[in-house]
Amino acid sequence: MDDCYETRLREFADGKRLGRLTNTVASGREDRCDACGSTQPRTLFGLKDGGSGRYYFVGQNCLAWLMDNGMVARARYRDKAASAYGREMELRRNGGPEGRAAMEIAPVRLDGHPQGPKVPSLRRVVLVVERNAEYRALVRLSDGQRSVSARAGESCWRWEWTRENGGAVLDRVWRPGRAMGASVLRAHRAALERWRRGAGPRRE
């Protein structure tokens, strides 16, 4: 899968607590996937950010990737996608800065909160290694004056509920792709949090 595509999806999910809505929405001519920006999906799946309460609508491929990489909760919100879509689009058309910001594809924020004052551009260095069925990521952020780093690890094995003979079985599943993405995301979030708190040495 294209690295640029995966980067967009990770940036879209960064700082959000996403869960699915019930039902789906038929995509119109001007609709696009909030995660990748594509206008091709004919059906949009609703997502809700538990932190901000905002709604997002993504195509099937993006939803599958986000769920496979642990960025969307398995449990669903009771909100119906159709009614949420109407409220969200109205807010985006007539709302304030937060409504307009929701229309942007993959916005990058330091702390995952709604758009605020501008932040400096950060240089990101990411190192990922695999050892003993575990991915470990190191993320370093720098603006030329200050730098912070954070580490995180994720096992390639994951316990998941699977269907078997009409029932559900808790099974141990090998998910190396999810583990790599999750380790990078966790390290990135930790580094951003350290940056927000003012950690890291400054250059004289």
The whole-number pLDDT of residue 45 equals 93
Same domain for 56 and 16, yes or no, is yes
Q: Regarding predicted confidence, which is higher, 58 or 75?
A: 58
Contacts of 125 (CB under 8 A, 6+ apart): 139, 140, 142
Same domain for 77 and 140, yes or no, is no
What pTM was computed for the model? Answer: 0.49
Same domain for 93 and 12, yes or no, is yes
Supply the mean pLDDT for the chain. Answer: 79
Asked whether the predicted pLDDT for residue 57 surpasses 90, the reply is: yes
Asked whether the predicted pLDDT for residue 12 surpasses 70, the reply is: yes
Domain residue limits at 87: 3-101
Same domain for 95 and 133, yes or no, is no
Distance between CA atoms of residues 157 and 153, nearest Å: 12
Tens digits of per-residue pLDDT, 156-172? 888 877 777 777 777 88
Domain count along the chain: 2
Q: Regarding predicted confidence, which is higher, 7 or 19?
A: 19
- Is 181 domain-assigned? yes
Contacts of 144 (CB under 8 A, 6+ apart): 123, 203
Q: Identify the domain boundary among 101, 133, 168.
A: 101
The whole-number pLDDT of residue 186 equals 85
Asked whether the predicted pLDDT for residue 31 surpasses 50, the reply is: yes
Tens digits of per-residue pLDDT, 77-120? 888 898 999 888 888 887 644 444 444 433 333 333 333 444 45
Q: Regarding predicted confidence, which is higher, 136 or 105?
A: 136
